[in-house]
Amino acid sequence: MSSKGSAPAKAGLRVGVIGAGVMGSNHARVLAGLPGVSLVGVVDPSPVHLARTCDLANCQGFETLDQLLAAGVDAVTIAAPTHLHHEIALACIAKNIHVLVEKPIASTVAEGREIVSAAQKAGVTLMVGHVERFNPAVAAVKQAIAGEDILSIAITRVGPFPPRMSNVGVVIDLAVHDIDLIRWFTESDIVEVQPQLSSAVAEREDIALLQFRTASGVLAHINTNWLTPFKARSVTVATRGKYVMGDLLTRQVTECFGFKPDGSYSMRHLPVGHDEPLRAELIAFLRAVRHGEAPAVTGDEGVASLEIATQCLETPSRPAATSSAARTGPRRVAG
């Protein structure tokens, strides 16, 4: 269904939303308001979620994916639970439907690769919903460090335990955003992973301190948890020439530059746009569909970030090396 040659784009691209939870209802709301888009409807097995989302977006509701596909769609966004991404994406791709799948792309790297491979063979657009890339504050940080020699990146993404219980911990739910940002900021693969994880109150990990090294030599760390009573989202990037701080919630980005030998430096606030990140993301997806362009976040990029997140969960933490004296008995205290 990709547009052929230089034919004009369809006036109304027929789009469906799969999943009517928090994220899916936002997808439907945004799509309903986009020009050149016909929101065909939303799918969810829950009558309550479906009714709420259909009211919000003034669209039709479907109980099953088959019903939506029978109604005819050019593209879908998948905001269903992660364990369903693989099955749903393959079913849509098999019918030559373009797909945006929310992060993480799938439950496993192998499933993610299958989705990527199927989309390539079918010649349909596949984009992964790493929405933080479309946060205007993140875009301002990216622009500020363009062409700079990046030394280190530190990202904090913390908050209270989410009311929606899910089958993943903070690494897959939260840190995967920041793994993607580290790869995007550095334009380099992550080659070393040093995770420290803890399950303080939840069944799965609810605290993660993750350290990375990229192929380009950048050191990065992510601090994430579900134990902080308020949300905080911040990014700091140190380069040889400047230090950039971004608050992803208030969308304030500050740049320190012009370092002098006496320790003085200059500071300035950088201009930051006001776009809603999800709206910008969906517009980017639909543009890629209409024009057959590579999407802003490719399936391969989505798989790469999932692979690093999975490594964080699988890498055993090593005990600190201790001296033989410390292992054999208590130290004698002189005095």
10 Å CB burial of residue 176 (0-12, 13-18, 19+) is buried
> What is the layout of strands, in order, in the sheet containing 207-214?
190-198, 207-214, 219-225, 150-158, 232-239, 242-247, 252-257, 266-270
Higher pLDDT, 73 or 163: 73
Any idea what the Cα angle at residue 292 is, between residues 291 and 295, rounded to 5°?
100
pLDDT of residue 12: 86
Q: Catalogue all structural domains in the chain, each as residue range(s) with its CATH number.
A: 13-124 (3.40.50.720), 132-275+296-314 (3.30.360.10)
Strands 98-102 and 75-78: parallel
- Lowest-pLDDT range, 39-53, 249-263, 312-326? 312-326
- Average pLDDT score over residue span 318-330: 56
- Average pLDDT score over residue span 268-294: 97
In tens, the pLDDT along 107-147 reads: 999 999 999 999 999 999 999 999 999 999 999 999 999 99
Residues 295 and 284 sit within 8 Å (Cβ to Cβ): yes
The pTM of this model reads 0.89
Q: Is 243 helix (H, G, I), strand (E, B) or coil?
A: strand
